[in-house]
Amino acid sequence: MQPSGAWALKPLVDMTPAEFYDWQTLLEERTGVVISEQRQAFLQTNLSARMRELGVADYASYYRQVTDGPRGAVEWSILLDRLTVQETRFFRHRPSFQVLEHYLGERLARAEVGEQPWALWSVGCSSGEEPYSLAISAAEVLRDSERPAHFGVTGTDISLNALSKARAGQYGARKLEQMDIELCERYFDAQSDGRFKVVPSLAARVCCARLNVLELAKAPMSGMDVIFCQNLLIYFRRWRRREILNRLAERLAPGGLLVVGVGEVIGWQHPELEPVADERVLAFTRKG
């Protein structure tokens, strides 16, 4: 028998084409994320790393483990974080946030007494930078108004790990480097460990929940004023991107704003939506 240290370093063999197909299909069926053949090495490396941790020697045994009922579900949620990209930043695509702030400014100018608080939604919110950026934009627009808390942001993601980071709302100093210093001071509290925590008044306006975007039919969201869906659909097949955008469009309130990542869908149209006339962004408003 080999010592365990040597075993841990032993490279796993290449997947067979059938194994690659099984893993690729499992990931796509469960998340929509497509791993192309060019990214087989990425899949192998990440599966192998997890298999080593568990002491599982071959892909087929691990596949059975991951697909084995409730126990498999726990393992799947761990694996998911290794196979999906969760990279994100505050105010990641500035022009999209500029369009949002302009839109909210106009909404505020037209606001009527008794209007419902604005409902904003970050689809594929990762560790929270996007929903908190949406919240900061809304808070800034409303800051000098009579109703500074007239909004709520929902962040949804498939990853429980990402969601727990989003709920914690604590970020290292480097995460805030690109942000306007005034916004940092207004919306984050410095912690004794050098990290920064979202201030309670802003955190209270943001809620994060698990939602697989392939299961939008189960989502209770409706009448949303703003939906941001950025850097999620790029990992999906084109027909699925359109399908999801059609479902998101149905969740928008009349006059609501849908913002998608630039280039993430080409030539998509919806009879109820009008494109925002700004070539820096891919955004639509719902008629009415």
Ligand X SMILES: C[S@@+](CC[C@H](N)C(=O)[O-])C[C@H]1O[C@@H](n2cnc3c(N)ncnc32)[C@H](O)[C@@H]1O
Does residue number 48 form part of the binding site for ligand X (CB under 6 A)?
no
User: Cβ 282 to ligand X, closest distance in Å?
Assistant: 13
Binding to ligand X (CB under 6 A) within 184-213 occurs at 212-213
Residue among 24, 44, 48, 88 that touches ligand X (CB under 6 A) = 88
Kindly give the residue spans of alpha helices, DSSP state H, lying in the chain. Answer: 4-9, 17-31, 40-54, 59-66, 69-83, 94-110, 129-142, 160-168, 181-187, 200-203, 238-250
Contact indicator for 166, 125 with CB cutoff of 8 Å: yes
Three-class SS of residue 170? strand
Does residue number 24 form part of the binding site for ligand X (CB under 6 A)?
no
Q: Please, which residue, 13 or 85, has the CB nearer to ligand X?
A: 85
Does residue number 153 form part of the binding site for ligand X (CB under 6 A)?
no
Q: How many other CB atoms sit within 10 Å of the CB of residue 65?
A: 16
Q: Please, which residue, 256 or 261, has the CB nearer to ligand X?
A: 261
Q: Which of 74, 85, 168, 101 is nearest to 129 (CA)?
A: 168
Residue among 51, 118, 130, 196 that touches ligand X (CB under 6 A) = 130
Lookup: tokens for 45: 């490396």
Q: Please, which residue, 32 or 152, has the CB nearer to ligand X?
A: 32
Three-class SS of residue 111? coil
Q: Please, which residue, 131 or 256, has the CB nearer to ligand X?
A: 131
Q: Residue numbers of the site for ligand X (CB under 6 A)?
A: 31-33, 84-88, 92, 124, 126, 130, 157-159, 162, 212-214, 230-232
